[in-house]
Structure 1
């Protein structure tokens, strides 16, 4: 089976280019969401602690089985550790044999941003040029580049309570955007934005801005609220916007919608993609993609990265499965 470590993932991204990789991944995500009913789905298994959460996220169709191990520990960064780390596996359904184990810290950041871009493709105005990002942690640059891969984003307003985080974002992406503005508040950042991404880490019920602060026609990608008791938007804004989720059983527990009930959900994303429900209908409505992350998205990026690793022969082939002439004589192999 194939093992992809940090070096292998970096090699693949550098070889292809991040924008091209996003485009290939977004295409795969759209295809997989359009085949929603072919997947075996379940909410992720999560164990919540006072200081964070550890989750397993499985998903399968009749070709591949995938799962991801991922954590969320907001206090880690104060100790010099990442808030989120992850690893994943892709297996062949026909035999049950694992095909690949890979790092997924980079891949989770990339797939999370690609899902935001996919949502914006169906829910944002096509003429969006100005993006606001609230929260400049490890995910923020990935979000901005992904949005730029599907929309003509040229300006980015950013806000974070940590000015060093804003400076980090500006330094990393100064060549990617015509203008990056560091703002003094979330309300200042969103004042003239076409798209708003909320990606804060604090594990609490928060209201980053109010309904009256949001301009008509704005698309909001709400992704920081991704666990019980962890939200970023107020109920008035949710009630008066077109609200889309990934998977209702999971979103109702972890998303912004946990503050309300299922009746406020306009659609799941797959319904929009398949034309069963309307996406954006005009340039005046406010749309919200309440995205908490779902296992199909990990399936998509694991499938893509496996295909590319086979094409480029990246990573290392490791001997983790016994190779024996007589499959009933496992003990005999141990004796050798």
Structure 2
């Protein structure tokens, strides 16, 4: 009897395996039905995208973020410890989804790989992965090497200037004159005409010359950060964030808007704590700036509490909180959010997928 049962069980197993096998194969075929994501190389990305492309979508993303209509996880950081076979370097992973849009985006940015210089390579690289929000299948991989990141940062700067400064504030200073400063200048030019003032440890002359030619607006080079602050109505700071770049006594007493974008890690700070404490402080995302932005330092020093945050930028965009109201100091703390990445990712897919 046991032998008979064994034979019947064995026969059942064979029948089940014959039935199950086609299902497994079919499932594999179904999974492979997604088309491969399109790859857009760096040259294609840089030739076809501008800050102006991103401003409207980034502004809308900030508004949606303030309404709770964006899923933005905290950034992920991978530290690459220096060894004989790796590093040093850092990898930042951000992403987000703006509700009721057809795609979401995940960004991988690699920075501070300083050994690359000896190999003739830049110290940073990065990709955006734009994903179909209906099927979950990747649509496109954009080799942007921080280009799209800098574009969406410049667009955020434009949104901050539009909503947190007044039309009469037409002298705009730039402390730090690298790639981000160029996009901040392009973003500011989309808001209103201005006179530009530049200061940096190196590169200010080239920056001023290039921006004046490109934007058709006058640019001068300040002899010091103090001199720049004394004449500027709006100040963009975009430095590595290793130390503070201005002092409270330097600022224009008629009121100034500081748009700071250099701090995106817990080790960075551009704006002194006394300036932050005296300001109408506006974050891009408070849960993020309190961990990796300018606000982190002020909270740590005990000179600010979370209740001192006037608004998130999206609240000002939506009109639920006020921007500039008088001669106050305003600090807009831009650490870069997944909402911005989702916005520029959608723009990039909409524009480049048609090529």
Change in CA separation of 1:136 and 1:82 when aligned onto 2, cut-off 3 Å: farther
2:136 aligned with 1:90, yes or no?
A: no
Q: Which residue of 2 aligns with 1:321?
A: none
Contact 2:129–2:141 (Cα < 8 Å) also in 1: yes
Check whether the contact 2:72–2:337 (CA below 8 A) recurs between aligned residues.
no
What is the aligned-residue RMSD (CA, Å)? 2.1
1:45-97 deviations in whole A, cap 9, x for unaligned?
A: 01246755311102124532211001332857965654543210111122111
Q: Is the 8 A contact 1:156 1:177 kept in 2?
A: no
| 1:54 and 2:91 are equivalent in the alignment | yes
Contact kept in structure 2, 1:127 and 1:151, CA below 8 Å: no
Structure 1 counterpart SS, 2:71: coil
- 1:303 aligns to 2:350 (yes or no): no
Alpha-carbon displacement from aligned partner over 1:294-333 (angstroms, at most 9, x marks no partner):
11101101101111123xx32xxxxxxxxxxxxxxxxxxx
**Paired position in structure 1 for 2:46:** 10
8 Å Cα contact 2:232-2:256 kept in structure 1: yes
Q: What's 1:150 paired with?
A: 191
User: Which residue in the other structure is 1:137 paired with?
Assistant: 178
In structure 2, C-alpha distance between the alignment counterparts of 1:76 and 1:293, rounded to whole Å:
26
Q: What is aligned with 1:188?
A: 227
**Larger Rg: 1 or 2?**
2
Superposed CA offset, 1:247-274 (max 9, x none): 1121111111011232331111111112
Residue 139 of structure 2 is matched in structure 1 by 99
Q: 3-state DSSP class of the match of 1:65? A: strand
Tell me which residue corresponds to 1:253: 291
Q: 1:279 to 1:113 in 2, by over 3 A?
A: same
In 1, Cα distance between the equivalents of 2:75 and 2:341? 12
Contact 1:128 1:152 in 2 (8 A): no
SS in 2 for 1:69: strand
CA contact 1:59–1:65 (8 Å) conserved in 2: yes
**SS in structure 2 of the partner of residue 174 of structure 1:** helix
TM-score of the two chains, using structure 1 as the length reference: 0.83
SS of the counterpart of 2:39?
Answer: strand
For the residues of structure 2 that align with 1:293 and 1:76, how far apart are their CA atoms? Answer: 26
Q: 1:156 to 1:52 in 2, by over 3 A?
A: farther
Bigger mean CA deviation after superposition, 31-40 or 252-261: 31-40
Q: Please say if residues 58 and 295 of structure 1, whose CA atoms lie closer than 8 Å, have aligned partners that are also in contact.
A: yes
Partner residue in 2 for 1:228: 266
**2:21 maps to what in 1?**
none
Q: In the alignment, is residue 273 of structure 1 matched against residue 273 of structure 2?
A: no
Q: 1:219/1:172 Cα in 2 relative to 1: closer, same or farther (>3 Å)?
A: same
In the superposition, the TM-score normalised over structure 2's length comes to 0.78
What secondary structure, in the 3-state scheme, does the structure 2 residue paired with 1:221 have? strand
Query: Does 1:117 find its partner at 2:158?
Result: yes
> Which residue of structure 1 lines up, in the alignment, with residue 58 of structure 2?
29
- Paired positions, count: 299
Aligned partners of 1:231, 1:52: CA distance in 2, in Å? 20
Say if 1:78 and 1:58 are closer, same or farther in 2 by CA, change over 3 A.
same
Does structure 2 conserve the Cα–Cα contact (< 8 Å) formed by 1:201 and 1:224?
A: yes
Q: 1:11 to 1:200 in 2, by over 3 A?
A: closer
CA distance 1:78–1:210, change in 2 (3 Å) = farther
Q: Work out whether residues 68 and 87 of structure 1, in 8 Å CA contact, stay in contact via their aligned partners in 2.
A: yes
Native 8 Å contact 2:89 2:112 kept in 1: yes
- Which secondary structure does the structure 2 equivalent of 1:200 belong to? coil
